[in-house]
Structure 1
Amino acid sequence: MGRKNIKQFIQIVISLGIAVWIFWFLYKDIAFDSLLDQVKSSNWAWILLSLSISMLAYLVRSWRWTLLIDTEEGKPVSLTRAYHAVMIGNLVNMLIPRAGEVARCGVLTRTNGVSIGYLIGTVIVERSVDLLCLISIILLAFLVEKDLFLNLASQLVDLRFLWQIALSNLPIIIGGMAILALLIAYVLRRFRDNGLINKAQHFFREILSGFNRIGRLSNPAGFWISSILLWFFYFMTMYTISLGIPSTANLSSGEVLLVMVMGSIGMIAPVQGGIGTFHALVAFILIQLGISEVDGKIFAAIIHGTQVIIVLVAGLVSWLIMMKLPSWTKPAEG
């Protein structure tokens, strides 16, 4: 095993260890019987509807990816193959954080002959748009539940105190920001040949070129509509499952939106499948909404657990299907 492989293995073990520790810390005092009782008392018609919407979201994500894969090399990527590749990627992410993005690209490179570098570029565009959508959702949650949003923020930091400090030191803050901007510009020019800075600049250039690529797609409207629809389905997945669980059935749509925001932030964390971080943030926001600590943690476990089952089952099925397909070979010229 090379040094690079050892480093990657250590990173995987550490991230998994953190995830397991957070999960254990959250649930060590909750009896399994409490979880079982909540599961039995839940309305599974709503939960099954939530799972169906979740599967629809995966299809929309797959369709959006096919719109980005606008290349003449290899074989055109069908919705079916894009879906199977996406599910395989989600399955790999459950084992190795972020590796699923490369895995789903590798699958299509093998079966359709599209270069992996090009496909990774499309994934970067996807993730950039998803980040933009998440920021928009956070702003929407702020507008819909402004008072609750500010109340939660004030529990973490004293907003009034910070605002008073900012006002009393406004010239210093403006001057400091100007100096920081000049310092960043100097560092970028002075160390433009540094590997880390080159990578950062290349990353942002890739994002900008990706957004330009969207405008040149054959169906840019479809791409943006599918992106909005994707996050709508994420919300509906959360909303319908909240209706199916007695402790959260009375939450308003705005409150569920806040829960979704916290869950999405938890899934971004570099741990396997958001294990632990998702549960902690979702339980935290539910407790602030008046749900008991036990019920909040059980809700997080149910929604995350059902999603994990979908990914495991659908991901394994997709992997079996794609592995049976022959590798793509370039047609002989002439």
Structure 2
Amino acid sequence: MKKVVNILKYVLLLAVSVFLMWYALRSINFAAVQKELGQVNYFWIGATLLISVAGYLSRAVRWRMQFKPLGYHPSLGQTYHALMVGYLANIVLPRAGEVIRCTFLKRSANVPVNTSLGTVITERVLDLLLLVSCIGLTLLLEFDRLHGFFEEIFSSKYKGLEANLQTLYILMAVGLAGALIMGWYIFKNIKRLRQNSLFKKISHFMRGIWQGIASVRKMDQKGAFVFHTLFIWFTYFLTSYLAFFAMPGTSHLTWQAGMAILVVGGIGMSAPVQGGIGVYHILVRTALLLYAIPLDTGMAYALLVHTTQAILVVTMGVISLLVSLANNKKTAAALT
């Protein structure tokens, strides 16, 4: 039954992606888009792909650094291959890639999955903080152009939240009461629960996750960790900005516009659909309208950047998957 539910969930997400992509393309002049794409300077696209590879390697280095304080020492190759397999999985199964990359690292480097998940949670919190910081910086730089755009994105969510505020309060109260009752029950029965095998497993799993989250505090190379965090987001910015020069219709845009596309594209890619398909295209083409870029040109830019980056992730992910499977077979053969 669980497998059927999971299959239905992913089919529904795929249907949502297809619908959003149709919505993004429905008012597009395909001849104009084709003309724009026919004039692409692939030197700049190649540059963005190389920069993206540098960003992935930096993320793998940063992820590896998080394990040292915990007593685990995966190689850079192991963290890199697990990371890219996770990105590949995210294209097919949104958000499943985080668990899958931790599973692959368990197989290749024997790092517990719960510990890896804790480090991934830290990553995601940092990514959220950097995205929010970039949104704030972009609004300061381009307030006149973008405040209405972001207001429309977030106000619709706020209005929906406001309309259901009473329900939200009730749910929060029920959740808090449930948490307090559960906490009281655990406290009163802690000695007996410690003898329960299921409780032991859950407690051990949660302890590992917390250790992974707290690994940053114990890290020796905090400066290097901060550098890689900033460098990763700098590569995201360069990918958005340098791609402007690949098309005549966007080559005149400034680095401030690149910041705008960075944050808008980041919001699109964080949507819970396969690879941000549809959402990314809609948001990016709409944001480019604010810079007097025609809808067709904006869509051509979104298609070019999203498609080339997706091809890169699929290519690197498949290679990493094959390498990881081959290495796991060698390890299993050596142990028998």
Going from structure 1 to structure 2, the CA distance change for 1:184 and 1:95 (only over 3 Å counts) comes to: closer
Paired position in structure 1 for 2:180: 192
What pairs up with 1:23-102 in 2 under 5 angstroms?
23-30=21-28, 32-70=30-68, 71-73=70-72, 76-102=73-99
| Residues 57-103 of structure 1 deviation map (CA, whole Å, 9 limit, x = unaligned) | 11111111001122325xx2111221111111111111100111111
Q: How far 1:30 moved relative to its partner? A: 3.5
Paired position in structure 2 for 1:113: 110
What pairs up with 1:1-334 in 2 under 5 angstroms?
3-30=1-28, 32-70=30-68, 71-73=70-72, 76-153=73-150, 188-189=176-177, 191-193=179-181, 212-326=214-328
Distance 2:148 2:267 in 1: 19
Distance 2:152 2:96 in 1: 36
5+ unaligned residues in a row in structure 1: which ranges? 163-175
Q: Which amino acid aligns with 2:105?
A: L
Q: Which amino acid aligns with 1:272?
A: Q
Q: How far 1:205 moved relative to its partner? A: 11
Distance 1:184 1:31 in 2: 47
90-99 or 31-40, which moves further after superposition?
31-40
Determine helix, strand or coil for the equivalent of 1:254.
helix
Going from structure 1 to structure 2, the CA distance change for 1:150 and 1:33 (only over 3 Å counts) comes to: closer
Distance 1:28 1:274 in 2: 18
Q: How far 1:192 moved relative to its partner? A: 2.5
143-152 or 125-134, which moves further after superposition?
143-152
Given the two structures, how large is their TM-score scaled by the length of structure 1? 0.81
Going from structure 1 to structure 2, the CA distance change for 1:213 and 1:81 (only over 3 Å counts) comes to: closer
Distance 1:155 1:274 in 2: 19
Going from structure 1 to structure 2, the CA distance change for 1:274 and 1:194 (only over 3 Å counts) comes to: farther
Q: Which amino acid aligns with 2:23?
A: F
Asked whether the equivalents of residues 121 and 206 of structure 1 are also in contact (C-alpha less than 8 Å), the reply is yes
Paired position in structure 2 for 1:166: none
Asked whether the equivalents of residues 128 and 207 of structure 1 are also in contact (C-alpha less than 8 Å), the reply is no
Q: How far 1:29 moved relative to its partner? A: 4.4
Q: Which amino acid aligns with 1:7?
A: V
5+ unaligned residues in a row in structure 2: which ranges? 159-164, 187-202
Q: Which amino acid aligns with 2:244?
A: S
Determine helix, strand or coil for the equivalent of 1:42.
coil
Determine helix, strand or coil for the equivalent of 2:249.
helix
| Residues 132-172 of structure 1 deviation map (CA, whole Å, 9 limit, x = unaligned) | 111111111111112222243566799xxx9xxxxxxxxxx
Q: Which amino acid aligns with 1:46?
A: W
Distance 1:310 1:19 in 2: 20
Asked whether the equivalents of residues 125 and 207 of structure 1 are also in contact (C-alpha less than 8 Å), the reply is no
Q: Which amino acid aligns with 2:305?
A: I
Distance 2:327 2:153 in 1: 52
Q: How far 1:42 moved relative to its partner? A: 1.5
Asked whether the equivalents of residues 269 and 279 of structure 2 are also in contact (C-alpha less than 8 Å), the reply is yes
Aligned alpha-carbon RMSD (Å): 3.2
Q: How far 1:209 moved relative to its partner? A: 6.9
Going from structure 1 to structure 2, the CA distance change for 1:207 and 1:253 (only over 3 Å counts) comes to: farther
Identical positions, percent: 33
Distance 1:84 1:61 in 2: 11
Q: How far 1:242 moved relative to its partner? A: 1.1
Asked whether the equivalents of residues 53 and 237 of structure 1 are also in contact (C-alpha less than 8 Å), the reply is yes
Distance 2:127 2:208 in 1: 15
